[in-house]
Chains A and B, each alone.
Chain A
Amino acid sequence: MSTSYVKTQHITFSEEKDALTLKCGSRLLPFTVAYETYGQLNADKSNAVLILHAFTGDAHAAGLHEGESKPGWWDDMIGPGKAFDTNKYFMISSNVLGSCKGTTGPGSIDPKTGKPYGLSFPVITIHDMVAVQKRLLDHLGIKKLLSVAGGSMGGMQAVAWAVLYPQMLHSAIVIAACHRHTAQQIAFHEVGRQAIAADPDWQNGDYYGKSIAKRGLAVARMVGHITYMSWTSMEQKFGRKLVGKEALGYDFSKDFEVEGYLQYRGQSFVDRFDANSYLYLTKAMDYFDITEGTKKLSDAFAQVKADLLVISFTSDWLYPSAQSKEMVRALKANDVEVSYVELKSDYGHDAFLVECTEQSRVVMNYLSKVFVERVGS
């Protein structure tokens, strides 16, 4: 509980000048962006930090919504005296394009038909998410960010920010992320997408108001959850513990706690996430490759002006440290100021959300450094 009640705000861009030409070639207008802010923008607008959420996250990064007991998804990191100190910095957090948490996505109403887009929603990319965030910053009158920061898909957006809008940020914090999705990362996403497509309730994405692709989406989430944990964290959390029984059942009901956990996570996920958004966002990540159109990664980073902080976690096998190190090497080759640390954790990919003590210390010190160096105390 770091701030008094916060509220999600919405801004709709509908003027011609705001129209988005997406990477796939389609044009998108109008579109709405859900966002929250924490802290105060200073007089010269130099203390703004953009928070970039991961796959199934939302704009609600910190503080409490009125009437709710669960704080935002990065409340450990954002608030007064925390790593992203809201006494010092003005934090902006927005929901990504293609999601189902207030920003326009496949579940939104297509103004042309008056019905939800479904699969007629254009395929979006990480670059497109960043372009939407840029519109939001223009709307807020922020010309240069002190930093952008995010983990996982949020880290990919941070990388894209540093490459696409080099003049617009002093620094970027890239946590548990990568510069391109690799075969293994794409493979797990494809299993999830196939699970959704195999669910008859999905109806080719045209299910709004008719059915919910509960089973497919739950299976997709179960696979995802396995990739977010580590061998050690699963051993420690579940081991071979049984659930609701004293001995093995010798049938196909739940035996092990890990089965119960995954089923619970899958089932509770369908209440808060849209199957089509799952398809669009996984596709956006799979398409992410910052080296596209260049010969090597260091060429892709040639225009980067920001100071970078890269963080990875020892037990994260989904976005392994090797990928972070590759980015660090390419940034160094371009003479970009970069700091990197591989934090020790057993939590796997989830570490950036749950293992916040050391991460906080690193981010707090780094942001102070950037603020002093680039903005002046």
Chain B
Amino acid sequence: MIRLDYEIIANLIAPDSRVLDLGCGDGALLALLKQKKHCHATGIEINDQEVMNALGRGVSVAQGDIDSDLDVYSDGRFDYVVLNESLQQVLNIEKVLKEALRVGKKVIVGIPNFCNFGGRMQIFFHGRVPVTKSLPYKWYNTPNLRFLSIKDFEQFCSDKNICIEKRRYMALGKEVFLLPNLLADSAILVLSQKH
């Protein structure tokens, strides 16, 4: 079983593309893109154990920090830069996204939706910070630095002159097509720089 977000991302990416996966974790998406789409795919991952896991999948990965490591790439080097479930852990979001849009012709972002129905219920009825399937951490152990909704991110893109070319939404491992900010637990957006 391929994870739905990986499947969606893989379907958004044209075969034989050059892909950079930022925060690639254990390299599962990279391996999928390499095998199914014959992509020339490489990743950056900060955790040494995950780097080793990714190398175990036969993909190229360099241990590093996506907050500072993108400046070596020339403009438009990659067809796609992927930031799946990693943007919310980045320190300087604006800078990283700007850099991703510089080195990639398109950027695919996967973000958790903090303000879906379940999250809203937990805040409203229980007075507790939401702990959901897509945001399973407690307030004291979350690696996430940012908590955002799909609407927040869309507003951000609009403010920063970033074009959202495609939108896909998911909830509980299925695609969602209606009222995403209320129903979806995560979103995958294809971004490009407005010229």
Contact = CB atoms under 8 A, between A and B. Distances in A.
Is chain B found bound to chain A in the same assembly? yes
Nearest to A340: B62
A337 B52 CA distance: 16
A338 B60 contact: yes
B58 A338 contact: no
B144 to A, nearest CB: 24
Interface of A: 307, 325, 328-330, 332-333, 335, 337-344, 358, 361-362, 365-366, 368-369, 372
Dominant SS at the A interface?
A: helix
B61 interface: yes
A341 B51 contact: yes
Contact of A329 (B51, B72, B77): B72
Interface of B: 42, 48, 51-52, 55-56, 58-64, 69, 72-74, 77
B73 to A, nearest CB: 7
A328 B55 contact: no
Contacts, number: 54
B77 A362 contact: no
A288 B11 CA distance: 48
Contacts of B74: 333
Contacts of B58: 365, 368-369, 372
A352 to B, nearest CB: 15
Given A340-B64, A365-B58, A335 B52 contact: no
Contact of B52 (A329, A358, A369): A358
Contacts of A342: 48, 63
Given A332-B73, A342-B48, A365 B64 contact: no
B55 A333 contact: no
A341 B73 contact: no
A337 B77 contact: no
Contact of A344 (B48, B55, B56, B72): B48
A369 B63 CA distance: 17
Contacts of B62: 328, 332, 338-340
24 contacts: A307-B60, A328-B62, A328-B64, A332-B72, A332-B73, A333-B73, A333-B74, A339-B51, A339-B62, A340-B51, A340-B61, A340-B64, A341-B51, A341-B55, A341-B61, A341-B63, A342-B48, A342-B63, A343-B48, A344-B48, A361-B52, A369-B58, A369-B59, A372-B58
